[in-house]
Structure 1
Amino acid sequence: MAVGSAGTRLVVVRGNSASGKSSVAAGIRDRFGRGLALVGQDNLRRTVLRERDRPGAANIGLIDSVARYALDAGYHVLVEGILSADRYGTMLTRLLADHRGVSCCYYLDIPIAETLLRHATKADPAYRAQVTERELRDWYRERDLLPGGVETVIGADSTLDGTVGLIMRETGLAGLPAHDD
């Protein structure tokens, strides 16, 4: 079922835990302004549903529904999260195929050593204590890319500002006006 319009943008930012996805998403939203819906896997899965990440979980459909609703309402949409290919790939592939506008996918390819360093800099000490190195290593999936080569792979050498700028340019968001309401 077609979703969005020729003028809407759908951006997917994926990667391992502590790869910088949320920081990139926040940077894009800050630069763009109003009119960009941020559909965060962690928020919908952990906060809204308080659900574990497992195959066939309810959050997969919720992420899809929220993204589709926002696109149909005229928002640009940024979906971000670990969004492992085996659990979320079918939903993401369908969403990308159904979107009428420009769709771009990015995978933050950060080595485990850098992932551990980035995790240590998280501002929330309770989260750092809750998510240990062992868990990060257990969750880590090297190059967990979606099928079909649809993702632009961004390495650890790209700065936060550089990654945000790249995505803003490639998606066309840099040249679009924010909503004024």
Structure 2
Amino acid sequence: MGTEETRLVVLRGNSASGKSSIAAGVREKFGRNLAVVGQDNLRRTVLRERDRPGAANIGLIGSVARYALDHGFHVVVEGILYADRYGDMLQDLVREHRGVTRCYYLDIPFEETLARHATKPDPQYLAQVTEQHLRDWFRERDLLPGGMESVIDAASTLDETVQRILRDTGLDQVSPVDR
């Protein structure tokens, strides 16, 4: 799947760990021809589905990432993506991708998660997603098996993390394609 020139980034972590901001930052720095495949968008918006084992969004995330890679897009797959539910799909993507692939896990302590959550700009979302929700969803170091992820801790700033991903994947050396 994809080509030797395409890049695949998997970006995982707990709610409010910075995944969506990092994905947006990578896209902003890189430019066009980079697809962001967001778990929240596909699961909550497109399917309006709960996050459960075997749910339809798991396959949809994999299909959208494959489609984009097969059409020459670089791809960032981002979401909580619990290892026990999404791990097989993510491992298949990593194994089958012919280009450069890098996986990252944002290891952010719960207290920092609360602080980051409080900075979200959507007051309706903040009212709906409470501290108890965040506690219920939080999983300590929910890493994929086999050491396939680089762990990024809370000390890494948004810009540092974006720059690291661009460097690690070689996207900082690739020109975007204006589609």
TM-score range, shorter chain: over 0.9
Alpha-carbon shift at residue 180 of structure 1 (Å): 2.1
Aligned to 2:19: 21
Aligned counterpart in structure 2 of residue 6 of structure 1, from 1, 4, 7? 4
* CA deviation string 1:142-166 (max 9, x = no partner): 0000000000000000000000000
Which runs of 5 or more structure 1 residues have no equivalent in the other structure?
A: none
**Secondary structure in 2 aligned to 1:141?**
coil
TM-score, length basis structure 1: 0.98
Quote how far apart the aligned CAs of 1:115 are: 0.1
Please list the CA deviations of residues 50-85 of structure 1 after superposition, one character each: whole Å capped at 9, or x if unmatched. Answer: 000000000000000000000000000100000000
Question: 1:71-125 deviations in whole A, cap 9, x for unaligned?
Answer: 0000001000000000000000011000000000000000000000000110001
Residue type of the alignment partner of 2:6: T
Give the letter for the 1:24 counterpart.
I
Residue number among 125, 129, 146 corresponding to 1:131 in the alignment? 129
Structure 1 residue runs of 4 or more that deviate by more than 6 Å after TM superposition:
none
Partner of 2:71: 73
Count of residue pairs the alignment pairs up: 179
Which consecutive unaligned segments of at least 5 residues does structure 2 have?
Answer: none
- List per-residue Cα deviations over 1:120-146 (Å, max 9, x = no partner): 110001101100001101100000000
Match of 2:168 in 1: 170
* Partner amino acid, structure 2, of 1:26: A
Alignment of 1:1-181 (within 5 A): 3-181=1-179
Aligned-pair identity in percent equals 73
Distance 2:46 2:9 in 1: 22
Length-normalised TM-score, structure 2: 0.99
Residue 61 of structure 2 aligns with an amino acid whose one-letter code is I
CA RMSD of aligned residues (A): 0.4
Q: Which amino acid aligns with 1:129?
A: A
